[in-house]
A and B are shown apart, each in its own frame.
Chain A
Amino acid sequence: MEITLRVNGSRRTVEVDPRVSLLDLLRERLGLTGSKKGCDHGQCGACTMLIDGRRANACLALAVAQDGSDITTVEGLADGDRPHPLQAAFIEHDAFQCGYCTPGQLCSAAGMLAEGGPSAVTEDLAGDPALTAEEIRERMSGNLCRCGAYPNIVTAIAEVAR
């Protein structure tokens, strides 16, 4: 089936088998290998990217179902040669070890910072709580880091959230 996506600002029209995930399409066909395949079951978050501005697990998204969508991957976060503030903060705070989960962490954090509203750890449902370390940990729980770089990931995101 033919689908058209806007990927990191460029219009791409491709022929896809209905079985192909958005993640596999971008990695295997469009050469965008920044997004990583971890579990392929929506449990690890390594494939997180923004679909129409909202973070999603691209391994669980069928490519055909995204026809007409606007996709941002880790390759599209920077502004030319200027890293995204989250990328700069991850470098500044050493928020990774092996780096495999990092593209998903960055895209997830970018989507999360735009979300607002309460989370499962928010006391008062009425407001938009400040992004404390506890709030960031809860909101980023869909992104695993098997190296355990969580403390520095939280610090990096908190710096950008301020």
Chain B
Amino acid sequence: MRPFEYARAGDPADAVARFRPGTMYLGGGTNLVDLMRLGVAEPEFLVDVSRLPLDRIEPDGDGLRVGAAVRNSDLGAHPLVRERYPMLARAVLAGASGQIRNMATVGGNLLQRTRCPYFQDVSKPCNKRQPGSGCPAIGGDHSNLAILGHSPACVATHPSDMAVALAALDARVHVTGPGGDRVIPMPGLHRLPGDEPERDTVVEPGELVTAVHLPAPPPGASHYRKVRERASFAFALMSIAAALDVAADGTVRDCRIALGAVAHAPWRCERAERALRGAPAGEESFTRAAEAELEQARPLPRNAHKVPLARNLIVRTLLELAP
């Protein structure tokens, strides 16, 4: 690990004031410390924001405000999250292990890096780690990488479970930085790779996530489902956060669908949602909606199985949510 300086910030303004090129903010460290040990991240200065007074979960209007330093375990266990945002509680509980959830923060969970094997291996080229060096995943092991929104430069996926639920819930991410405070709506925090795969999000250098605001929960039933290679403590092969509100006449009044592990960002299924609104809540509509979304899928030679997986995951989850 390369030598670095360390300082503990007293408040968010202090953290931002300490930022200079080569600085990274340290939350729980469950991803960053590992990346530093692997040589993938080489900060010159770590500003520790894990103990900032951003650790509260509070009602905010008809929604909820979650501080960026809230631990994942406290988010998943909070009574208001369990009662009003079950898909978020389920997503958080499906992530990592008890130990890691105790350490990992909400801000760090959002800004964690991809687990693409080439990104994590400094002996390999990677456009995300070293822009312009190439993407060996495209001709190599991409069986668990993107089918949607990828580019010739990068086929990585975002690994978070929590972020998939936040994308479905229309969460807003509050950041503070050298240019002041701003609010970033949640599908929109994470970027698609394009020709700048080194940029995971629209967060600018020096900006610090301070909170996540959840608007009122969507009406109807909701769920988070995760498909993985073993029953626990594994990243998703694919996941879905979905909510379905069905009117008395059996038609879909509203719905939310977001997929995880299919793209460089949590993938909000806007085409499927549009196709579903007003349609009868049943298998035929659900299948048509899933297919409308997946028309834009561009699977790679070794991950074509993820297209039917996505279709089946959408249809099966909506069937479970339908009355």
| A positions within 8 Å CB-CB of B | 1, 17-19, 21, 40-42, 45, 48, 54-57, 60-62, 64-65, 67, 108, 111-112, 115-120, 122, 125-126, 137-143
Contact = CB atoms under 8 A, between A and B. Distances in A.
A48 B100 CA distance: 10
A65 B197 CA distance: 30
11 contacts: A19-B1, A19-B4, A54-B102, A57-B103, A62-B26, A62-B29, A67-B8, A115-B77, A115-B98, A120-B90, A139-B98
A51 to B, nearest CB: 8
A125 B90 contact: yes
> Helix, strand, loop or mixed for chain A's interface?
loop
A141 B97 contact: yes
B310 interface: no
B294 interface: no
| Chain A to chain B: the 9 pairs with minimum beta-carbon distance, closest first | A142-B97, A141-B232, A117-B77, A18-B6, A141-B233, A125-B82, A120-B93, A54-B102, A142-B99
A41 B76 CA distance: 23
Given A19-B3, A108-B98, A125 B86 contact: yes
A55 B90 contact: no
A52 to B, nearest CB: 10
Given A62-B33, A125-B89, A116 B77 contact: yes
Interface in B58-105: 73, 76-77, 82-83, 86, 89-90, 93-94, 96-100, 102-103
Contacts of B232: 120, 137-138, 141
A64 B26 CA distance: 12
Given A62-B6, A111-B98, A118-B89, A41 B82 contact: no
Contacts of A56: 99, 102-103
B143 interface: no
A143 B98 CA distance: 9
A90 B89 CA distance: 32
B6 A1 contact: yes
B5 A60 contact: no
Interface of B: 1, 3-6, 8, 26, 28-30, 33-34, 37, 46, 48, 50, 73, 76-77, 82-83, 86, 89-90, 93-94, 96-100, 102-103, 231-233
B1 A115 contact: no
Contacts of A64: 6, 48
Contacts of B6: 1, 18, 62, 64-65
Given A125-B83, A125-B86, A125-B90, 18 more contacts: A1-B6, A18-B5, A19-B4, A42-B34, A42-B100, A55-B98, A60-B30, A60-B33, A61-B33, A62-B29, A65-B29, A111-B98, A120-B90, A138-B231, A140-B98, A141-B231, A142-B100, A143-B97
A19 B46 CA distance: 11
A41 B83 CA distance: 34
Nearest to A120: B93
A16 to B, nearest CB: 10
A54 B74 CA distance: 11
B26 A55 contact: no
B25 to A, nearest CB: 12
A21 B29 CA distance: 11
A143 B94 CA distance: 16
B100 A57 contact: yes
A107 to B, nearest CB: 9
A125 B29 CA distance: 28
A140 B233 CA distance: 10
Nearest to B234: A141
A45 B89 contact: no
Given A55-B102, A120-B90, A142 B233 contact: yes
Nearest to A16: B6
Contacts of B48: 64-65
B254 to A, nearest CB: 22
A67 B28 CA distance: 14
A65 B50 contact: yes
A108 B99 contact: yes
